[in-house]
Amino acid sequence: MAGLEEIAAHLGLGLSVALTASNIFYCFLGALLGTLIGVLPGLGPATTIAMLLPVTFHLSPIGGLIMLAGIYYGAQYGGSITSILVNIPGESSSVITCLDGHAMTRQGRSGSALATAALGSFVAGCIATLLVALFAPPLTDLVQLFGAAEYFALMALGLVAAVVLAQGSVLKALLMILLGLMLGFVGTDVNSGAQRLTFGLEGLADGIGFIPLAMGVFGIAEIAVHLERMQGGAPPAAAITRLWPTRDDFRRAWPAVLRGTGVGSLLGILPGGGAILGSFAAYTLEKRLARDPSRFGNGAIEGVAAPESANNAAAQTSFIPLLTLGIPSNGVMALMVGAMMIHGITPGPTVIDQQPELFWGIIASMWVANLILVVINLPLVGIWARLTRVPYRILFPAVLLFCAIGAYSYAHSVFDVVLTMVFGLMGYVLLKLRCEPAPLLLAFVLGPMMEESLRRALLIGRGDPTVFVTRPLSAAILAIAVLLLILTILPAVRGLRQTAFREE
Instruction: Give the model confidence (pLDDT) of 402-461 as tens digits.
Output: 777 777 776 778 888 888 889 989 989 988 888 878 788 878 888 888 888 899 888 888
Per-residue pLDDT for 72 more than 50? Answer: yes
Q: HSE on the CB side for 464, CA within 13 Å?
A: 9
482 within 8 A of 75, measured Cβ to Cβ? no
Residue boundaries of the structural domains of the chain:
1-143+152-230+241-501
Q: Say what the pLDDT of residue 24 is.
A: 92
Using one digit for the tens of pLDDT, what is the confidence trace for 448-500? 888 888 998 888 888 888 888 888 888 998 898 888 878 777 766 666 656 55
291-308 average pLDDT score: 85
Q: Say what the pLDDT of residue 426 is.
A: 92
175 within 8 A of 185, measured Cβ to Cβ? no
Using one digit for the tens of pLDDT, what is the confidence trace for 158-193? 788 777 766 667 788 889 889 999 998 888 887 777
User: Mean pLDDT of all residues in the chain?
Assistant: 80
30-57 average pLDDT score: 76
Q: Smallest Cα–Cα separation from 367: which of 122, 180, 95?
A: 122
- Output 91 or 12, whichever has higher pLDDT: 12
Least confident stretch, 13-17, 77-81, 146-150, 301-305: 77-81
Residue 139, helix vs strand vs coil: helix
Q: Which residues contact 484 (CB under 8 A, 6 or more apart)?
A: 157, 160, 161, 164
For the residues of 335-349, what is the DSSP string, one character each? HHHHHHHHTT---ST
Q: Say what the pLDDT of residue 25 is.
A: 92
Least confident stretch, 3-7, 26-30, 150-154, 352-356: 3-7
Q: Say what the pLDDT of residue 272 is.
A: 57
- pLDDT-derived band at 504 (thresholds 50, 70, 90) equals very low
Phi, psi (5° rounding) for residue 195? -85, 140
Using one digit for the tens of pLDDT, what is the confidence trace for 333-381? 888 888 887 788 877 777 777 888 888 888 888 888 888 888 887 777 7
Percentage of the chain beyond pLDDT 70 is 87
Q: Is the alpha carbon torsion for 220, 225, 227, 228 positive or negative?
A: positive
